[in-house]
A and B are shown apart, each in its own frame.
Chain A
Amino acid sequence: MTEAPATLTLPRPPRSQWRDVWDQFKTHKGAIVGLTVFALILGAVLIGPLIWTIDPTTVNLRARNQGFSAAHPLGTDQLGRDLLARVMAGGKVSIAVGMTAMSLSILLGTTIGVLAGYFRRLEGPLMRLTDLFLALPLLPLLLLMVTLFREPLSRSFGPEGGIFLLIVCAIGATSWMQTARIVRGEVLAIKEREFVLAARSIGTPARRMVTRHVLPNVLSPIMVSATLGIAAAIITESALSFLGLGFPPDFPTWGRLLYDAIDQMQLYPWRVIIPGIAISLTVLSVNYIGDGLRDALDPRIRGR
């Protein structure tokens, strides 16, 4: 024990927490593949339309129902619209809906979770509210909301903006409960820690306590549920579209493309399968990223 190893005398250079998280994330093979696939899909959807400049809504009745060709790599639909352009345009909407709805649901869930966890007086009513929302039959209610309010909203915000707003709000308002529960649990645990007591003893006001001390420490569960929330929102949106209650027909999303192709699936099965694969691949990759993030952000697993 007299001679210490040479490496110990040199302290390891300081590493940020996010560096550690990334190192752990990299060891999760599924997560890396998921991240790559999601980045590719995102790139195809965002950059693709700049390269493949055919307008997804141009009707060309001479080129209806074509198969795969150089002019139309994924063929055309019953009105001669280019399917590749439509899949890319649809993906943009689907992913935008997923991201926006997730942000709304995370915002709601985090706010309610932090308030319920930090302020004891609000805990009872807010958690009752969460339980009430959990007891609501969500899919039927979503269907109801979307059907009942689509007319007035599309009148005041235009057919596209109105439906977008409606679907995003409906999905966000019905999916925040799990996040709120997780965040509340974490906040309750953090509230008992010494650093919170120390911060309080120097007179930190409640607002700064929450933003400086509590929120950064509940970031990991929020990030995980945000990732999984994107996947859930994309599935919900495409399910609504599939039931014919989503976006209007000239405003394609992946779910809508699938729904439109159902009538002719016996003749042109590819038109159903391509948007379906797009949805599945996106959701699968996002779920894998969420899985990897959960492992990487858990300090008990990290570093092993």
Chain B
Amino acid sequence: MFTFTLRRLLIAVPTLLIISLVIFLLLEAAPGDPLGDVPLTVPPDVKEKMRAALGLDSPWYVRYVLWLKQFFWVEPLHLIDHLFGTSLGEGMQRVISFQSRQPVMQIIAERLPQTLMVVGLAYLIGVMIALPIGILSAYRQYSWFDNLGTFVSMVGFSVPTFFTGVVLIIVFAVKLQWFPSVYDTTLKVTDWASFKAQLRQMVMPVTVLALYNAAQISRFMRASMLDNLGQDYVRTARAKGLGERVVVLVHVLRNSMIPVVTVIALGVPTIFGGAIITEQVFKVNGLGQQLISSIHANDLPMVMTLTFIFAILIVLFNLIADLLYGILDPRIRYD
């Protein structure tokens, strides 16, 4: 197991390097100019200086290596400085956003809580809804409950989140006026009233994302339970007189959870991507919205860093899913 983890970590390093190069070259090949918004009246030599100040005058491989150094060496040093009050990274150039001239990581750290709060909570709720539905659907296969569940989950992942979101806004924010349609990120939870306001504005984005995730996970749970319910050990468990509750909720459930847990782990990075759309619908001031506004503004360092962070999440959770599979299922041996 340990050697497997080590090997996977070693493979992850070149994978991430290649991904970062791909993203970098894609941005490089693009014709967009970060100085495109600069007025035409600015003389060319001043423009050249501005270009040099942004570090755009050196060839692409120099800038790529510089970005790598900043991302993997300078930024962690700054994080250590921030956490322990040391001064290891003093005077070193950080990854700076073209748009706001702030360190990119600082902006990301400001926006991460919003995304995590909405997306993370939605995923948790989605999983908590999906598991019981999947279990019951499989146990009563082809019952009305199962058929309804199949239909609802089919609808759940066929209807795009931007449409469910907009419909919820029309019904609950415009017509019924129960919830606010725009997520107010400046709201600070200080007392009961602001806590209630925070809850009310989270209801709709969380519902949209939770339903979407629940639709997929409940299908996996159902399929996995069905695989196990027909196995010999289930008959044995029933034959030796165990109660139906114990058979289903202990014996079958524990075995069925193995693939489902890995699916849940694999889904974590994709929800960050999917949240881009939901954040846009509800105007949540999170990472996804930041990505879109940086793409529009041609803010190369920001786009590069954010996209790469998404890639790290995917590689990391793939690894976690593989390891979980090995830990949960003793029949699987990687060595």
Spell out A's residues near B (CB within 8 Å).
30, 131-132, 134-141, 143-145, 147-149, 151-152, 231, 235, 238-239, 242-243, 258, 262, 265-266, 269, 272-273, 276, 279-280, 283-284, 287-288, 291
Interface digits, B298-322 against A, CB 8 Å rule (1 contact, 0 not)? 0000010011001101110010000
Among residues of B, the one whose C-beta sits closest to the C-beta of A281 is B158
6 interchain residue pairs of minimum CB distance: A148-B30, A137-B310, A276-B163, A284-B158, A139-B273, A280-B159
Cβ–Cβ contact A287 & B280, under 8 A:
no
Chain A residues, CB < 8 A from B154: 30, 284, 287-288, 291
6 residue pairs of the A-B complex, CB under 8 angstroms, read A148-B27, A238-B160, A265-B170, A280-B155, A284-B155, A288-B154
B180 CB-CB contact with A under 8 Å = no
Chain B residues, CB < 8 A from A243: 276-277, 280, 292
B203 CB-CB contact with A under 8 Å = no
Chain A residues, CB < 8 A from B155: 280, 284
**Among the listed A30, A151, A269, which residue makes an inter-chain contact with B174, where contact means beta carbons less than 8 Å apart?**
A269
Among residues of A, the one whose C-beta sits closest to the C-beta of B22 is A136
B296 CB-CB contact with A under 8 Å = yes
Residues of B147-204 whose CB lies within 8 A of A: 151, 154-155, 157-160, 162-163, 166-167, 169-170, 174
Among residues of B, the one whose C-beta sits closest to the C-beta of A280 is B159
Chain A residues, CB < 8 A from B314: 134-137
Cβ–Cβ contact A137 & B307, under 8 A:
yes
Cβ–Cβ contact A239 & B159, under 8 A:
no
Chain A residues, CB < 8 A from B143: none
Interface digits, B15-32 against A, CB 8 Å rule (1 contact, 0 not)? 100110011001101111
A140 and B307 contact, Cβ closer than 8 Å, known pairs A147-B296, A265-B170, A272-B166: yes
User: Which of B160, B170, B295, B307 has the most chain A CB atoms inside 10 A of its CB?
Assistant: B160
- A128 to chain B minimum Cβ distance, whole angstroms, is 9
Among residues of A, the one whose C-beta sits closest to the C-beta of B173 is A266
Spell out B's residues near A (CB within 8 Å).
15, 18-19, 22-23, 26-27, 29-32, 151, 154-155, 157-160, 162-163, 166-167, 169-170, 174, 269, 273-274, 276-277, 280, 291-292, 295-296, 303, 306-307, 310-311, 313-315, 318
**Among the listed A151, A238, A280, which residue makes an inter-chain contact with B31, where contact means beta carbons less than 8 Å apart?**
A151
Among residues of B, the one whose C-beta sits closest to the C-beta of A131 is B15
Chain A residues, CB < 8 A from B306: 140
- B29 to chain A minimum Cβ distance, whole angstroms, is 8
- B133 to chain A minimum Cβ distance, whole angstroms, is 18
Task: Tell me, in angstroms, the Cα distance from A151 to B160 when the chains sit together.
Answer: 28
Cβ–Cβ contact B30 & A149, under 8 A:
yes
Cβ–Cβ contact A279 & B163, under 8 A:
yes
- B168 to chain A minimum Cβ distance, whole angstroms, is 12
- A122 to chain B minimum Cβ distance, whole angstroms, is 19
* Extra 8 A-B pairs, beta carbons < 8 Å, given A135-B19, A141-B307, A265-B169: A135-B15, A139-B273, A140-B276, A144-B30, A258-B166, A265-B174, A272-B166, A283-B159
Chain A residues, CB < 8 A from B274: 139
- B180 to chain A minimum Cβ distance, whole angstroms, is 13
Task: Tell me, in angstroms, the Cα distance from A244 to B318 when the chains sit together.
Answer: 31
Chain A residues, CB < 8 A from B277: 239, 242-243
Cβ–Cβ contact B163 & A258, under 8 A:
yes
Chain B residues, CB < 8 A from A238: 160, 162
A140 and B291 contact, Cβ closer than 8 Å, known pairs A135-B314, A148-B26, A239-B277: yes
Among residues of A, the one whose C-beta sits closest to the C-beta of B309 is A137
Task: Tell me, in angstroms, the Cα distance from A139 to B276 when the chains sit together.
Answer: 9
Among residues of B, the one whose C-beta sits closest to the C-beta of A152 is B31
Cβ–Cβ contact A135 & B30, under 8 A:
no
A276 and B167 contact, Cβ closer than 8 Å, known pairs A137-B310, A144-B295, A238-B160: yes
**Among the listed B159, B162, B169, B315, which residue makes an inter-chain contact with A135, where contact means beta carbons less than 8 Å apart?**
B315
**Among the listed B18, B162, B318, which residue makes an inter-chain contact with A242, where contact means beta carbons less than 8 Å apart?**
B162
Chain A residues, CB < 8 A from B296: 147
Among residues of B, the one whose C-beta sits closest to the C-beta of A145 is B26
Cβ–Cβ contact B162 & A287, under 8 A:
no
A138 and B166 contact, Cβ closer than 8 Å, known pairs A132-B15, A132-B18: no
